[in-house]
Structures are given as C-alpha cells and as structure tokens.
Amino acid sequence: MAQLWGGRFTKETDQLVYDFNASIRFDRRLYAEDIRGSIAHVMMLARQNILTEAEKEDIIEGLEGILSDVENGKLSISEKYEDIHSFVEATLIERIGEPGKKLHTGRSRNDQVALDMKMYVRSEVRKLDDLLRDLLQVLLSTMEENLETYMPGFTHLQKAQPVTLAHHLGAYFEMFKRDHERLRDLEKRMNTCPLGSGALAGTTYPLDRQYTASLLGFDGPTLNSMDGVSDRDYIVELLSDLSLIMMHLSRFSEEVIIWNSNEYQFVEIDDAYSTGSSIMPQKKNPDIAELVRGKTGRVYGALNALLVSMKGIPLAYNKDMQEDKEWAFDAIDTARHCLTLFTGMLETMQYHKDRMEESARHGFTNATDVADYLVNHGVAFRDAHGIVGRLVLLCIEKNIALDDLPLEEYRKISDVFEEDIYEAISLKTCVNRRVTTGAPGKEAMEQVLEIYRTYLEEN
C-alpha cells in the first residue's frame, strides 16, 4: 500500500478496502496527461512566485525524466500505488527529494483527475476524428467510381427501386459525416481547463488559471470550481457520440454480412478480413463485420452505465466518479478498433457489380417507373398503379422481368404503351431521371460529391 494520505489515520487500511478503492490498475494509462498537467501547474506556480525558479526546474526535470522513463520502459508503473497521481508524485519525491513535495501546492486530486481525463478524452477524440475522416475518404473514393453501378434499393429488405452503389454508400457518408461533426462539436464544448478548481472551492493561492489553461491548449479555465471537479458531461457526450458511430457501423456491418452471403454475393470480403471454420473447409466468414455489430452493445452499455452512475451524485466530487474511466476507456478502445478494422475491410472489399445490376433488373424495381410512364401519357396514377400490378403478375407467371415482356403483351393491358417503354424503364433511365437533390441520379450525385470533397478538404 502506498498512498498520499494517512496522517489523520490510526490504523492501516484494510487490504480489501485498499484494493477496492485503488484505481491504478486502469488509470495508469493517464500517466502522460498527469505529468503534462503537473508540468503546466508548476510553470504557473513559479510564474506566480509560489515556487522558486530552481524548484520549478528541478520538478520539471524530474517529471520529464519520469515521462521518458515510463515511455521507454525503464520505469514501470507499480500497482502498489493507489492511483496514477500518487505514483507520479511519489516517484518524483523519491527522485528529486524536497522540491518534489511542493508539486501538489494549490491542487487537489479532484481537479487533477478532472484535468487528466479531459486531456485524455480530447486526444482520443482527435484520433477518432482522423479515423472517421479515413472512413469518409474510402467511402468517397468508392462512390466516385460507382455512380453508374446499379443495384436494388430496399425497403423491408424487399427490392424497391433501383439506386446505385454510390448512392447507397452516400447514405453512410452522411451518417459518418454527422458523427464527425458531433466529435468536433464536443471538442469545442469540453475544451475548458478544470485545474485550479482545487478540491471543490478553488484555492487560497494566487493561481493564474488562464495561464495554465493556455499552456495546456484549453480555451480558458472552467468558471465554477464545484462544476469543474464534478463535470463528467463531456464523457457522457463522448459515449453517446461513440454509440451513434457504433450504431452506424453496426447497420453497415449488417448490410455487408447480407451482401457477402452466399445468396446475395454482392460483395466479397477480402481474405485478409475473413476467417475460416475449424470444421467446414469451404467456409469464409464475415467475422469482423459480426464482431463490430456485436461490440456495439458494449459501447451502449458504457453510455448507460455512466448515465446511471452519475445521476444521483451530489456536488461536488464523489468517488463514484472514478467509475467513469473503465467505461470510457473500454468504449474508446472499442470504437477505435472497430473504425480501423471496418475501414480496412471496406477498402479491400470487392463489389460484384454484375450481380448487383442483375439483382436490380429482377425483382421489378422499375415497376414505379412503368407507372410513371403511364402518368406521363395522361393516365391517372391510381389507374396506372393497377395496370402495372397486372403487368407484374403476368411477368411473375412468365418468370421474366418487365424489360423482357413483349410490347404486344403490354398493349393488351394498356394501349398507351409504345416501343419507347423499354428505354423508359431501363435501369439507367430509372436512376438518372431521379435528379432532385439527394436522389441517386448521376447529375444529382455529382453535385453532392462535390460538397463532400469540399467538406473533406476543409475539415
């Protein structure tokens, strides 16, 4: 047991209590943030004449030594300490002696941990931001190549109307773009520095909180010390943003699994992203997509767990808040891994364009367009709907597509039909006549792609 307190205690902490209370097992990953935060704190203390220049230099040198030694493996983070803050401070005192004991002047572990966690979350948000950009980039390139790759669009998982692969992927571009914007928005809102809040009521030292905040890249200090030490909103926001990212990845995974199935064969997942079966030699399974879909539950769980942990906590800091870390770390790691793997899988996946197009040709995805043809020739839509219904029935009997039904059969049901019906209901026509903003027509899609390209250049 190695703890920073103990003066007012007459007994040793029970070992089980100590272990239950300790957080070093998981907060050890905050070592770099903890040390950087301490360095900024010490620079500010010296600037305010609370520490001497010499003390500042000794402490900073000591802290930098600890950071590089941990990083290059010379110093291991011993779990005999209660938490990462205790480890860093105790190691500093062990290494530099007296000046090390002044590091914690004007600070509490409450504002210290609030700072560490904010810095960690902020840097993870930036990594996630990059990963989302990578995914958006892969989607955009694939879209650019597939403006005329026809496939069925589905509702109720039943073939509905023809779209293109570019259009289908564009729906995911929209989702992940919103996710990207949400992370940026979160970073803006969370970027205030809690250091200097003290335990809850600030401190009596003349700290320059603005200076510390700017050293650490924050927009400014938090404005209420009680909120400063007990705000975990930004973690809830992050987990909620991650939940949406996972929801989108999960829906996409589900589609990849369906598309990769033996029945569909719209895509083939690369060997490098597939797995085999221990018994069935023929198998090539989409495990990565399934795992991404499955891991979505963990991230939702983390969001729910943190919301429930936080809901009854009175001001200001309470130990319940230590529970934020394991959930946040697990959810961040999960989302980061899932984004990385999913993007890799997508980038290497083969699209069987002929199969997609063939599937769009069968299944009457152009039935609406036959009705539109009639409407354009003066038939009321409700009548047209009935006529096309009869045509579809006829085609089902003959086991052919609407494109293959002879003109005389068309004309037996309505003499409005002429030779140009075939051109009017070809996949190409069906798609390219849909040119309102957001529709799959090539012209409309090209305008949207231009907006996406600009977005990725500017963000």
Q: Give the dihedral of Cα atoms 244, 249, 254, 257; nearest 10 deg.
A: -170
Closer CB to ligand ARG, 216 or 321, in the complex: 321
Q: Give the dihedral of Cα atoms 417, 421, 425, 428; nearest 10 deg.
A: -160
Segment 340 to 369, residues that bind ligand ARG, using CB under 6 A = none
Which of these segments, 73-81, 106-114, 172-180, 429-437, binds ligand ARG (CB under 6 A)? 106-114
**Residues in contact with ligand ARG, total (CB under 6 A)?**
10
User: HSE on the CB side for 344, CA within 13 Å?
Assistant: 12
3-class SS of residue 351: strand
Q: For helices 109-145 and 442-458, give the axis angle rounded to 10 degrees.
A: 150
- What does the DSSP assignment read for 307-324? HHHHTTPPSS--GGGGGH
Closer CB to ligand ARG, 107 or 159, in the complex: 107
Residue showing tokens 């293109």: 164
> Judged by CB under 6 A, which of 45, 90, 113, 395 binds ligand ARG?
113
- Does residue 237 interact with ligand ARG by CB under 6 A? no
Distance in Å, CB of 190 to ligand ARG, minimum? 17
Closer CB to ligand ARG, 246 or 316, in the complex: 316
Taking phi first (over 0 means left), then psi (-120 to 50 degrees means alpha), and beta for anything else, what does residue 438 get? Answer: left
> Judged by CB under 6 A, which of 50, 165, 169, 321 binds ligand ARG?
321
In this structure, what token pair is assigned to residue 219? 């927009």
Which of these segments, 12-20, 217-225, 237-245, 316-324, binds ligand ARG (CB under 6 A)? 316-324
Closer CB to ligand ARG, 109 or 361, in the complex: 109
What b/e readout covers 264-274, taking b as 16+ CB neighbours within 10 angstroms? eebbbbeeebb
Distance in Å, CB of 24 to ligand ARG, minimum? 8
Determine which one of 86, 156, 243, 377 is catalytic: 156
Closer CB to ligand ARG, 322 or 340, in the complex: 322
- Does residue 13 interact with ligand ARG by CB under 6 A? no
Which of these segments, 53-61, 239-247, 276-284, 315-323, binds ligand ARG (CB under 6 A)? 315-323
> Judged by CB under 6 A, which of 38, 50, 100, 110 binds ligand ARG?
110
37 neighbors 63 (Cβ within 8 angstroms) = no
Strand partners, 152: 162
Which of these segments, 65-73, 304-312, 313-321, 429-437, binds ligand ARG (CB under 6 A)? 313-321
In this structure, what token pair is assigned to residue 293? 């879909």
Which of these segments, 167-175, 319-327, 337-345, 355-363, binds ligand ARG (CB under 6 A)? 319-327
Residue 14 is given by DSSP the state P
114 neighbors 182 (Cβ within 8 angstroms) = no
Closer CB to ligand ARG, 144 or 323, in the complex: 323
> Judged by CB under 6 A, which of 28, 56, 109, 361 binds ligand ARG?
109
Distance in Å, CB of 146 to ligand ARG, minimum? 48
In this structure, what token pair is assigned to residue 13? 């902490």
> Judged by CB under 6 A, which of 322, 348, 368, 429 binds ligand ARG?
322
In this structure, what token pair is assigned to residue 265? 């064969």
Segment 74 to 93, residues that bind ligand ARG, using CB under 6 A = 83
Q: Where are the beta strands (DSSP E) in 352-446?
A: none
Distance in Å, CB of 22 to ligand ARG, minimum? 8
Closer CB to ligand ARG, 8 or 188, in the complex: 8
Closer CB to ligand ARG, 109 or 293, in the complex: 109
Residue showing tokens 């040390």: 35
Q: For helices 367-376 and 381-398, give the axis angle rounded to 10 degrees.
A: 140
156 neighbors 429 (Cβ within 8 angstroms) = no
Active-site residue, 277 included: yes
Identify the CA nearest to 207 among candidates 108, 86, 91: 108
Which of these segments, 107-115, 301-309, 333-341, 367-375, binds ligand ARG (CB under 6 A)? 107-115
User: HSE on the CB side for 41, CA within 13 Å?
Assistant: 28
Determine which one of 68, 78, 123, 277 is catalytic: 277
Identify the CA nearest to 134 among candidates 331, 348, 339, 349: 339
Residue nearest to ligand ARG (CB): 322
Segment 156 to 195, residues that bind ligand ARG, using CB under 6 A = none
Tell me how far apart the alpha carbons of residues 27 and 82 are, in angstroms, rounded to a whole number: 10
Binding site for ligand ARG (CB under 6 A): 23, 27, 83, 109-110, 113, 317, 319, 321-322
Residues labelled as active-site residues = 156, 277
